[in-house]
Every structure is written in C-alpha cells, then in structure tokens.
Chain A
Amino acid sequence: NAGVTQTPKFRVLKTGQSMTLLCAQDMNHEYMYWYRQDPGMGLRLIHYSVGEGTTAKGEVPDGYNVSRLKKQNFLLGLESAAPSQTSVYFCASSKGSGDYNEQFFGPGTRLTVL
C-alpha cells in the first residue's frame, strides 16, 4: 500500500516550458487535491476533484490545469511556466469531506522555474 505518490520529485524548468505533475493514490479515495507550499505561507489549494471526471478551482488556479480521467490519478499541468510558479507542490487525497476529510499527502514535487 503505497498511499499517495508523486512524480517527479524534483524538476527545473525554463520560463515558458510546460510540464505535467502526476499524482496517484491506491486508497480508493474520492477526493484529490493539488496544493502549493511557499515559505512563510500556508498551503494554498490550486485545484481539487471530488470524483473521477470532475475538477474544480481552488484558491490559486491561474496558470494551472488539471485532469482526473481515472479515480486513482490526478494530473497537474503547467502550460507555460513562470518564475512565480517556483514552489513545492503537494498532492493529497481523502475519502470525502467533513469527518472524512483527513487528507493524506504525497511526498511533494520541488519545482524551480528559471
């Protein structure tokens, strides 16, 4: 039982390049989330999904797109990377909302945009 996994662990991009971050969970969770974590700030929600085939915007969605084609996978795309997107990205999953909103996090992806 691997829990939540993320690939890649590290990445360096040049401004304007694109990339996709992959998140996978094997806990059969309905909800999945993408966050970014910057120094001195709390985790900020980028996009989330409440089930296969559905996605919704979080607090800071601009510059990112997501897809949830399979229940176990949640992809985060950067179409044209900018230095402001340098951050640590965490994926998380949960059974649902309310009492079932204990979120399980992946190990993170450290992205640098030059």
Chain B
Amino acid sequence: GQNIDQPTEMTATEGAIVQINCTYQTSGFNGLFWYQQHAGEAPTFLSYNVLDGLEEKGRFSSFLSRSKGYSYLLLKELQMKDSASYLCAGMDSNYQLIWGAGTKLIIKP
C-alpha cells in the first residue's frame, strides 16, 4: 500500500532550527512535496524534490533520499509565524499526491 509517515507534533524555540522528517511508500515515485498549513487556512506550497539532495529556499530547506524513501524539511531561525502544520506528500506513478497527516509545529518564545 501507499503510506506517508511524519510525526504528529513537534515543539521548538523561536530562533532555533527544527527538522521535520517524512518517510514515504508510494507506487512509483514522481517527487516529494512539502506544504505549510496555518490553522483554519489552506495549504500553501513550500518545496518539491524529485532528485536526491538538498534544496535550499531562504530559511527553509528540503532534503530527499530516494533510496531510503525519506525526506526532511529544515526550518532555520524559527519565527512565531512558523507555527503551523507541515504536510508531506509523495507523488505516485499516476501523478497523484499521497498526503501525510501533517506535523503540527509549535514555536515557543
């Protein structure tokens, strides 16, 4: 079956660094997405990885290892506005997104 696993909740301190892990099992693989979702709002796109390695975009970076079925999202210099859920989604051979349940990130001052 297809499955995306990520931690339910994480807590971090303002100004620190946090890494949110995601493991995936999909029928075929056409890339890995990360989305951010603030409470009561729509998900918004953060990153897309299809090749192994690290993609950096400002304070956010995303890493992919296809051989391990593993990705992580790295958030640096955490700000209070980063408090949100982070959704990992793998794209299968039919180009459909398989979504994880999301990781709720709580930032403390």
Contacts and interface: CB of A to CB of B under 8 A. Distances in A.
Interface of A: 40-45, 48, 58, 90, 97-99, 101-108
B105 interface: no
A40 B43 CA distance: 15
Given A42-B100, A107-B41, A102 B48 contact: yes
Nearest to B50: A99
A101 B95 contact: yes
A98 B43 contact: no
Contacts of B43: 43, 90, 103, 105
B78 interface: no
Contacts of B30: 97-98, 101
A43 B45 contact: no
